[in-house]
Amino acid sequence: MDEIANRIKEAGRGQDILIVEIGGTVGDIEGLPFLEAIRSLKSELGKRRAMNIHLTLVPFIKAAGELKTKPTQHSVQELRRIGITPDMLICRSEYPLPKELKNKLAFSCGVERNSVIECLDATTIYQVPLSFLKENILAPISEALDLGDLTPHMDEWDLLVKRVIAPRDELMIAFVGKYLDLKESYKSLTESLIHAGAHLNAKVKIRWVDSEVIEEKGCEDILSDVDGILVAGGFGERGVVGKMEAIRYAREHNIPYLGICLGMQLAMIEFARNVLHLEDANSAEFNATCKNPIIYLIDSFMDASGQKQLRTFQSPLGGTMRLGGYECETKPESLLRSVYDGAKVIRERHRHRYEANPAYREAFENAGLIVSGESHGLIEAVELKGHPWFLGVQFHPEFTSRLTNPNKTILGFAKAALTQRQNG
């Protein structure tokens, strides 16, 4: 518990406010150490420097035709049993909470009436902060933490939310992947497309495409009417042939393409096979003994903290990934540099193990696949000369995207797809 509390304090160092979320259900054994940590922290910091907010469900029982407060009362009792008293309740609900029900919750759970905050189901999660402001959530927070008057400027946020809900234009992106039974795997990426769409005043519609279906049926019927093709990251050999077919279709039909992580690596392998005619071109991840390892495992690299990391094929998979933020130098007059508004150096986050093999760089560039981003000698981005918009990046741009500040790679891709739609 002490270590948890110390890490919370370290994370908050130099910040005005730190929000700490403890997930799961109150009473679950997995969460008890974390709950004990915040209990002790509030005791240490005092009531003016810490506040407990309990997110709870107020279900609507259809048969009875009413909202029920018992689950909230019981979870608050369980929190009190371990020494935590909520200062505020945020009540998830399908229906508005009547004044009488809010009063009941305040009385039975020992919180102020203005600290019972209604949180209705919303069309988009980005509506929720606006809903909280309508509930005047900042007044009790300010009072509890002695923060003074809190008047956030939400005009830009409000405009973007309106564009998310009722956009002017629309475009269609083919999202080619293999984890489609669990679309939450791609949550950060799909949200980043929403961010980009809001700034373009356009709805980014996603056509989920199983790469293994492409292997069976081909691309024409599936991809001929889309405005952009996206191949995201992933691990393992399953489905990569279908992904490369989708990449080839984007390359040959001048459809805007964005390849992220594995999507960049497969773009290089596809190009090596079909343009450079290296039939054995592959990734060492899929075939460790291939004659032309376009993607390979380097023995050492410098991590984000400047420490040298060593790895082999026998190294644990997770422990030797290149993780965190790294700087990338962009090539002059490249698509990558223009996407980042002329920035010579950008910084993006990574999550991968294998790297593009620089031994093939000259052959690639002579044939038109240009290396446009590098990080300490490692290939970070490639783009196709003469194509309207074709970019592969080793980093994960979606990790740093926000509604008010969409990642520039994602925004550039969405903008190119919208232009494709408007030009027919």
Would you call 340 exposed, middle or buried from its count of C-beta atoms within 10 A (0-12, 13-18, 19+)? buried
- φ, ψ (nearest 5 deg) of residue 289: -115, 15
Closest CA to 186 of 419, 417, 410: 410
Q: Is the CA virtual torsion 31, 37, 39, 45 positive or negative?
A: negative
| CA of residue 380 relative to chain centroid, distance | 19
- Is 350 a catalytic site residue? no
Catalytic residue (choose from 54, 195, 387, 396): 396
**Pure H helices in 82-232:** 99-109, 128-134, 138-145, 155-165, 187-200, 211-217, 220-223
Catalytic residue (choose from 135, 261, 270, 350): 261
- φ, ψ (nearest 5 deg) of residue 374: -135, 150
Catalytic residue (choose from 135, 270, 355, 398): 398
Strand order across the beta sheet in which 322-330 lies? 202-210, 169-177, 228-231, 257-260, 390-393, 378-384, 369-375, 322-330, 345-352
| Torsion region of 306: left, alpha or beta (phi above 0 gives left; psi -120 to 50 gives alpha) | left
Residues 167, 202: Cα–Cα separation, whole Å: 5
- Is 352 a catalytic site residue? no
Amino acid at 253: H
Establish how many alpha carbons lie within 13 A of residue 404's alpha carbon, considering only the half-sphere containing its beta carbon. Answer: 7
- Confirm if 188 and 398 have CB atoms less than 8 A apart: yes
What's the full length of the chain, in residues? Answer: 424
What is the set of active-site residues?
261, 396, 398
